[in-house]
Amino acid sequence: MKAPIEMVVLDEEGDTIQCIVKDIFVPIFEGLLAEGNVYVVTNFGVALNTIKFKPTRHEIKIHFKRDSIVHPVQDSSVPLNGFN
Protein backbone atom coordinates (compact mmCIF):
# COMPACT_ATOMS: atom_id res chain seq x y z
CA MET A 1 0.00 0.00 0.00
CA LYS A 2 1.14 3.51 -0.75
CA ALA A 3 0.57 6.53 1.45
CA PRO A 4 -2.52 8.63 0.67
CA ILE A 5 -2.11 11.73 -1.48
CA GLU A 6 -3.29 14.87 0.27
CA MET A 7 -3.30 18.18 -1.55
CA VAL A 8 -4.79 21.65 -1.54
CA VAL A 9 -6.17 22.76 -4.88
CA LEU A 10 -7.11 26.15 -6.23
CA ASP A 11 -9.98 27.10 -8.54
CA GLU A 12 -10.33 29.96 -11.04
CA GLU A 13 -11.82 32.19 -8.33
CA GLY A 14 -8.84 31.68 -6.02
CA ASP A 15 -10.72 29.46 -3.56
CA THR A 16 -8.85 26.53 -2.04
CA ILE A 17 -10.08 23.13 -0.89
CA GLN A 18 -8.42 20.04 0.53
CA CYS A 19 -8.41 16.91 -1.68
CA ILE A 20 -7.57 13.39 -0.64
CA VAL A 21 -6.73 10.29 -2.65
CA LYS A 22 -7.01 7.29 -0.31
CA ASP A 23 -4.10 4.87 -0.25
CA ILE A 24 -6.01 2.17 -2.16
CA PHE A 25 -6.61 4.60 -5.07
CA VAL A 26 -3.09 6.07 -5.23
CA PRO A 27 -1.94 3.67 -8.01
CA ILE A 28 -4.82 4.94 -10.18
CA PHE A 29 -4.06 8.67 -9.80
CA GLU A 30 -0.39 9.13 -8.91
CA GLY A 31 0.72 9.25 -12.54
CA LEU A 32 -2.10 11.61 -13.54
CA LEU A 33 -1.50 14.46 -11.07
CA ALA A 34 1.39 16.90 -11.01
CA GLU A 35 1.96 20.09 -9.06
CA GLY A 36 1.46 23.27 -11.07
CA ASN A 37 -0.89 21.72 -13.62
CA VAL A 38 -4.60 22.40 -14.11
CA TYR A 39 -7.20 19.65 -14.24
CA VAL A 40 -10.93 19.17 -14.48
CA VAL A 41 -11.97 16.47 -12.02
CA THR A 42 -15.39 14.84 -12.16
CA ASN A 43 -17.19 12.13 -10.21
CA PHE A 44 -15.66 12.74 -6.81
CA GLY A 45 -17.04 12.58 -3.28
CA VAL A 46 -17.34 15.35 -0.72
CA ALA A 47 -17.41 15.23 3.06
CA LEU A 48 -17.44 17.70 5.91
CA ASN A 49 -13.95 18.79 6.86
CA THR A 50 -14.13 18.26 10.61
CA ILE A 51 -10.44 17.87 11.39
CA LYS A 52 -9.10 20.29 13.99
CA PHE A 53 -6.19 21.71 11.98
CA LYS A 54 -7.38 22.33 8.42
CA PRO A 55 -5.06 23.28 5.55
CA THR A 56 -7.89 25.46 4.15
CA ARG A 57 -10.88 27.33 5.56
CA HIS A 58 -13.28 25.38 3.38
CA GLU A 59 -15.91 23.46 5.34
CA ILE A 60 -15.82 20.46 3.00
CA LYS A 61 -13.10 18.31 1.46
CA ILE A 62 -12.95 16.33 -1.76
CA HIS A 63 -12.32 12.59 -1.92
CA PHE A 64 -11.25 10.97 -5.16
CA LYS A 65 -13.13 7.75 -5.88
CA ARG A 66 -12.06 4.75 -7.95
CA ASP A 67 -14.03 6.09 -10.91
CA SER A 68 -13.12 9.78 -10.56
CA ILE A 69 -12.07 11.24 -13.89
CA VAL A 70 -9.08 13.58 -14.27
CA HIS A 71 -8.65 15.60 -17.48
CA PRO A 72 -5.65 17.93 -17.93
CA VAL A 73 -6.48 21.44 -19.16
CA GLN A 74 -4.06 23.39 -21.35
CA ASP A 75 -5.52 26.90 -21.31
CA SER A 76 -7.31 27.92 -18.16
CA SER A 77 -8.20 30.89 -16.05
CA VAL A 78 -6.84 29.29 -12.88
CA PRO A 79 -4.03 31.44 -11.48
CA LEU A 80 -0.77 29.50 -11.21
CA ASN A 81 0.46 31.62 -8.29
CA GLY A 82 -2.67 31.75 -6.13
CA PHE A 83 -1.24 30.29 -2.92
CA ASN A 84 0.39 32.33 -0.16
Across residues 27-39, what is the average pLDDT?
A: 91
Position 79 in a domain: no
| Domain hosting residue 50, numbered range | 5-73
Q: Which amino acid is at 6?
A: E
In this structure, what CATH number is given to the domain that contains residue 57?
2.40.50.140
Question: Of all residues in the chain, what percent carry a pLDDT higher than 90?
Answer: 58
Burial class (CB in 10 A: 0-12, 13-18, 19+), 64: buried
Position 83 in a domain: no
Residue-wise pLDDT for 73-84, tens only, equals 987 777 767 666
Question: Of all residues in the chain, what percent carry a pLDDT higher than 70?
Answer: 95
Model confidence at 37, pLDDT cuts 50, 70, 90, reads confident
The dihedral built from the CA positions of residue 58, 44, 75 and 38, taken in this order, carries a sign that is positive
Residue-wise pLDDT for 39-61, tens only, equals 999 999 999 999 888 888 899 99
- Are 3 and 30 a contacting pair, CB within 8 Å? no
Position 39 in a domain: yes
